């Protein structure tokens, strides 16, 4: 599995030898504000499906 960062606090995970993609929005922890951090899944699909979407804008 490999990961790359894209704008809008999102990460793209390449799964199963790059056959599938997972896009997550990450709100990183901020202990000063009492925030623990959250990961939102924005997209799960095949590489072919990923090629048809805008990874910075997609929503589930």
Tell me, what's the pLDDT at 35?
79
13 falls within a domain: yes
Instruction: Give the residue from 43, 40, 36 showing the smallest Cα distance to 57.
Output: 43
Tokens encoding 18: 């790059």
In this model, does residue 10 exceed pLDDT 90?
A: yes
In-domain check, residue 24: yes
Domain enclosing residue 38, as ranges = 2-50
Give a yes or no: residue 60 inside a domain: no
Query: What is the predicted pLDDT for the residue at 53?
Result: 96
Residue 35 lies in a domain: yes
Asked whether residue 57 is assigned to any structural domain, the reply reads no
Lookup: tokens for 34? 């009492």
Between 30 and 23, whose confidence is greater?
Answer: 23
- How many residues are listed for the chain in this entry? 60
Q: What is the pLDDT of residue 8?
A: 83
By the 10 Å C-beta count (0-12 exposed, 13-18 middle, 19+ buried), 42 is classed as buried
Contacts of 2 (CB under 8 A, 6+ apart): 13, 14, 18
């Amino acid at each position: 599995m490999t990961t790359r960062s894209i704008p809008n606090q999102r990460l793209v995970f390449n799964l199963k030898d790059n056959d599938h993609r997972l896009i997550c929005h990450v709100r990183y922890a901020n202990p000063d504000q009492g925030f623990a951090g959250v990961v939102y899944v924005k997209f799960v699909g095949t590489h072919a499906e990923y090629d048809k979407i805008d990874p910075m804008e997609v929503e589930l």
